[in-house]
Amino acid sequence: MLEYDSEKVAQAVADAVSPDNFKTPNGLSVKTARKGKTVVTQIMFEGKFPTFVATVDDLLFCVSTAERALHVARVLET
């Protein structure tokens, strides 16, 4: 669960990682949604632990990339 300053930012981050909701191998389900100013991701997994760790790592990388892009967009906006 990640919390942001606004619902708009939370929605942008959720939208940025939402393709991960669909591109998953068998035994893995990733669902991300915005709830108010919060982004919640649910990961359901059956398989080898390293695959789970890699999935979480990929998700956090995507979130970090989205946050940096939003930061740059705000800087350019001003």
**DSSP code string of 56-78:** HHHHHHHHHHHHHHHHHHHHHH-
28-35 and 2-3 as β-strands: parallel, antiparallel, unpaired? unpaired
User: What pLDDT shows up at residue 73?
Assistant: 87
Q: What are phi and psi of 24, to 5 degrees?
A: -135, 145
For the chain, the domains span: 2-77
H or E stretch at 2: strand 2-3
The answer on pLDDT for 35 being more than 90 is: yes
pLDDT digit string, tens, across residues 45-75: 898 888 889 889 999 999 999 999 999 988 8
* Residue 68 near residue 29, CB atoms below 8 Å: no
Is pTM, for the whole model, over 0.95?
no
User: What pLDDT shows up at residue 51?
Assistant: 85
Query: Is 44 in a helix, a strand, or coil?
Result: strand
Span 2-77 CATH architecture: 2-Layer Sandwich (3.30)
